[in-house]
Chain A
């Protein structure tokens, strides 16, 4: 009941009471009537009639005054009440629409001043915050651009933070990577859980061997890739039960394969050599120790020596091949673009004024330990400078059959092989790094030689290096920029799943969604043709975690529905069916609370498809329409547009699933604030409040028809 109705009800009761008292007095008087004298009776009758008339006039007057008071005092008061709530919680620029002849005196003006003061204070706070957040932002940038994948999870493996590198590593499971989602949907549960247990145990022990983090390998769910992970316990205030774990992730498939290959090589390589060597020795010893051996016998032993020698050669070749392959995957080597390498070389050569480097040729991917290779090339160029006529060295990168050639070309004589060979023993040093050229070249499977160049008077030094596999790979799709990767405040509030109703509204995860359909009657064959959702975590709509699909409804779209959402049969002809899309949507939703405007409508469309899709939406549901009714009972217009306008939400792309979803999400966030101000703090209370509104809404609907 609104305060206005309450006020008038009390006043009316008071009036009724007065009336009853008067009626009572009259009744008593009338009963006593026969006992009084005629004259008095006549006089009393007159008084009675006059009183009735006076009462009638008084009532009329009273009603007039009341209606006037209602207009100029009570209604404006109630409007002010509502407006102030909106100004305080949702839209500080909300305009007061109070009639000018109100009796509130300076109250509306004061309210306006208060609102504007609030607005400025908030802005200042925001500015101060922005200022203060500068440092944090820088930290965010660091995390975002960190090359190592980073994930922070809580004790229940709920994701609290992730960075772009983690997103890239887990790109095949992108739909499962989201704030509040379970890390187990991304990585095999066992190693993660075991490590967490180990670390929590360690936390209790104060001192233990795993303080610096525990390394473990972990398979990506439904993927054949392995991740090299290191988990450590984050110090969190609040102690027990609020543990958080920092996990760094790196792709391990390649290095694991190399490790395995290396093990295999040493193990099998040695094993395979022992046999032939043993046989060889035995046969030779037999021949040496027994020169008297018969011709046939000795011929057999010689055959053995021949065969085993051949075996040994083959196995050696195999080991050599494997070792080369391993060397190419050396852990120190990464993919480098030749142009980047040469640019680095150019920078290093700036110190040497007698050498000018000019780069020609394509940008090619090579596999190299870039710092070491740079040092080696720099050293080589310094030596080369003596052979040039003019100090100018051109460098050309060429793609050969199996190798990338880095050719240094200059006008002048070629370098004699003796000289080139002697360069190999030179050492280069940079800080703590001290290596011989020989070592660097060998590590890169690299050689070098000088020849005369096809251009007359020119010579060249060729350095063949190993190309990177990336040369032949399709460029990877750039991951879309996601603005939100983390929510540090989640760290304090995130709790496990279950018993959701008791949870604070501000800590829950929501999926706000909307559907567009072929019509209004799912039970009569109307179908969903578009569904969109956006995730809300910790009071923020995450623009990076969105779901949007067009759906082929398997039936024609009626023109009258096309008029609303603009979607035609052609738009959805090549789209997936609801049977394919709805399970994806369910994955996206997870355990979150579902939010929609007029949710009953959308839920009906979802639920009717549950059995055919083999899923079940048992999530709690909140309805922005019902919440709005609860908050602004007096107002009858609760369309999305009306609420948005009331709460100062800008409307865009209305009647597209995503457009409506975004508006609904913003509206929902504002409603959450208003609910909080009204003391509705948990999911249970909000659902209860909505439920009570269903009844009122029905009444309103009935009144309209």
Chain B
């Protein structure tokens, strides 16, 4: 694993998200609780909507374009919709956000 500092936890509003540009495309980093973050692909499996712009609720996000709802833990679309988005390891250390860039690269290679 290669933990890369991508910014401060407080750079992301509570129940909000920010994007990180990577060679594998944009990754959305969600802050679901005071000290709980998830990283996924920013691209909705349906029509490519920017998930980082969705409303974050519980450990889920709703795509702003057509209301697909994803679990941020598994990346699976919820309810009747079928599809999934990639998820990536991200952690908080001393208020900093660390993203596993190896996992991102691996996904890119695959």
A and B together in one complex: no
